[in-house]
Amino acid sequence: MKKIFIIFISVLFVPLRAFPQSQTWHPGLFRINTSISAGDENIERVSSKADQIGMEFIVFSDQFLVRGEYGLPPFRNILKKSIDRQSICTYGVDEYLKRIEDANKQFPRLVLVPGADIAPHYYWTGSPFRNNLTTRQFSEQLTVFGIKDADFYKKLPVIHNSYMSFSFFNFILSCLPLIISVLGVFVLISVRKPYYADAQGNKYFKHKTLRISSGIILVLTGLLWCIDNRPLSYKSGFNQYSDYGQAPYQKVIDYVRKTGGDSAGITWSAPEAKMRDRIFGINLLSVPYLDDIERTNGHNGLAGVYGDAFHAHEAGKTWDKLLLEYCSGKRSVRPVIFGESDYHGHGDIAFIQTVVNCPKITLENVVYSLLEGRSYAISLIGKNRIVLDSATVENGICVSGPGEVLKYSPRSPIVLNVKGRVEPENKGEKHPGEIRIILDGKEIERKMINLGNFTLIEQIPASALDNRISKHYVRFYIRSPSAGFLLSNPIFIEM
């Protein structure tokens, strides 16, 4: 009996072994444009393509509103020229959401997530009379996703998204120019005062041309000014003739957070892309906007992998700055990365993928995994892609994956364990690659590995964890000339 008791006690106090966490990965496509806006293929065609190649979800993000508008002072909302392109607004918000819903019934193996690309603001510089008119930051966009409510989209506070809205204060303010019209009426009335009356009571008037003209001008000016103010329309507070910095973008982010709650995502799209063009004699220029990403709060992160050159994921750069602010408590919303397909109907639809970890593929699970960062992003080389079987950080007691939190234990070492392969698998084929491990914004390890079928076990030095900070993170990315690129969201370590 004594021997049995000793065995029981010894087993009880042996540290628990960290068994590999079960991870179920689901590949999908994030940010897809269709023929509703800038794409060449309709929603059903895109869904069919994705279904045939084994994708499990699509986040659609057709352009919400595409309009360029320039007006001449003093009545810029009347004396104006507008150019609209196809968008969700021209198609109809309700119809767009309904079409995605119907397509999901047609392809039940897919989860179709509604979303929209939004450009909250742009502004003009130059002059049409000097042939240097330029519209700036027209392509500075965010992607909103996860919401199926039409009113949510209809009331997005983006430039040119006008809808009927009554605010007593704004109505009074917009109608103040009518005072000028009233003055004009008084001027016209004063013109009718008689300058002579005879004994029989006949009155004679002398019409004063200047007073009549002045009265008419005042009446028309007040009316036009009032109409130009659009008293019954919603106003975002930002016009296209001034640069307001990050304020218009912050307003949209705040709206999404307040109206959409935790089930709505808003992320910055292609932040390092540069666009320069000339259309109809007008210059279009958009420059990278990483600074705006760092200056705004409440968003869910940024595109980390996309078709243009990208560097925000490198150690110590924009993404790490956001993550460090999140870990220190300066940011309340976790900044994660997404693989942005930006598919418009040409090229390989699966060239860039976002892969999420969730037990079952549902709309709620996909959106939750994307927002929590339980995912990684990849870009392909040809048909080759790097696939993770598991990616964990463990401490001998607990195991956590991307987007999850591991509780630090001083009794056990922290170990990063990454297992993966290259698909399609060809026996004997080697895929050399490099993996870089980032801890709290600093690169702590760089290794060359064969990605054909690999396992990486790397101990995270406890000495590198600053005890003054309550939360840390470790992340990694892999690059291969023959298998492509993989960027994982971080695993957090709580002290």
Rounded to the nearest angstrom, the gap between the alpha carbon of residue 350 and the centroid of all alpha carbons in its chain is: 20
Q: What angle do CA 485, 275, 242 make, to 5 degrees?
A: 130
pLDDT at 201 over 80: no
Residue 219 shares a structural domain with residue 110: no
Residue 16, in any domain of the structure: no
Q: Whole-prediction pTM value?
A: 0.86
* pLDDT for the residue numbered 225: 77
Write out the two tokens for 70.
Answer: 């320039």
pLDDT tens per residue, range 255-275: 999 999 888 999 999 999 998
Which two tokens mark 37? 């806006």
Domain assignment of residue 19, yes or no = no
Q: 270, 306 in Cβ contact below 8 A?
A: yes
Residues 153 and 170 in one domain: no
The answer on 31 and 135 residing in a single domain is yes
- Asked if 308 and 362 sit in the same domain, the reply is yes
Residue ending a domain, among 376, 391, 424, is 376
Q: Each residue of 452-481: pLDDT tens digit?
A: 889 999 998 888 888 778 899 999 999 999
pLDDT in tens, 107-153: 999 999 999 999 999 999 999 888 899 999 999 999 999 999 999 99
Of the three residues 174, 193, 227, the one that is the final residue of a domain is 227
Question: Is residue 5 one of the residues assigned to a domain?
Answer: no
Q: What confidence score (pLDDT) does residue 9 get?
A: 33
Question: Are 180 and 261 members of one domain?
Answer: no
Higher pLDDT, 260 or 410: 260
Is residue 279 located within the same domain as residue 207?
no
pLDDT digits (tens, 9 = 90+) for 75-119: 888 888 888 999 999 999 999 999 999 999 999 999 999 999 999
Residue type, 89: C
Structure tokens, 365: 């699970």
Q: Are residues 135 and 248 in the same domain?
A: yes
Mark whether 76 and 140 lie in a shared domain. yes
Question: Domain ends where: 360, 376, 392?
Answer: 376
Distance CA 139, CA 80 (A): 22
Identify the band that residue 74 occupies on the pLDDT scale cut at 50, 70 and 90: confident
Residues 388, 334: one domain?
no
Same domain, 318 and 413: no
Tokens in use for 173?
A: 């303010």
383 in a structural domain: yes
Q: Identify the domain containing residue 181 by its residue range.
A: 166-227
Tell me: do 154 and 212 sit in the same domain.
no
Q: Which residue has the tokens 């023929």?
A: 35
CB under 8 Å to 30, separation ≥6 — which residues?
59, 61, 338, 339, 340, 341, 354, 370
In the sheet that 453-460 helps form, which strands lie side by side, from edge to edge? 399-400, 385-394, 414-423, 453-460
Residues 318 and 349 in one domain: yes
**What's the burial of 332, exposed, middle or buried (CB within 10 Å: 0-12/13-18/19+)?**
exposed
Q: Is residue 371 assigned to a domain?
A: yes
Unique residue bearing structure tokens 């794409």 = 39
Residues 222-247 as b/e (b if ≥16 CB within 10 A, e otherwise) read bebbbebbebeebbbebbbeeebebe
Q: Is 367 exposed, middle or buried (0-12, 13-18, 19+ CB in 10 A)?
A: buried
Per-residue tokens: 412: 């056990």
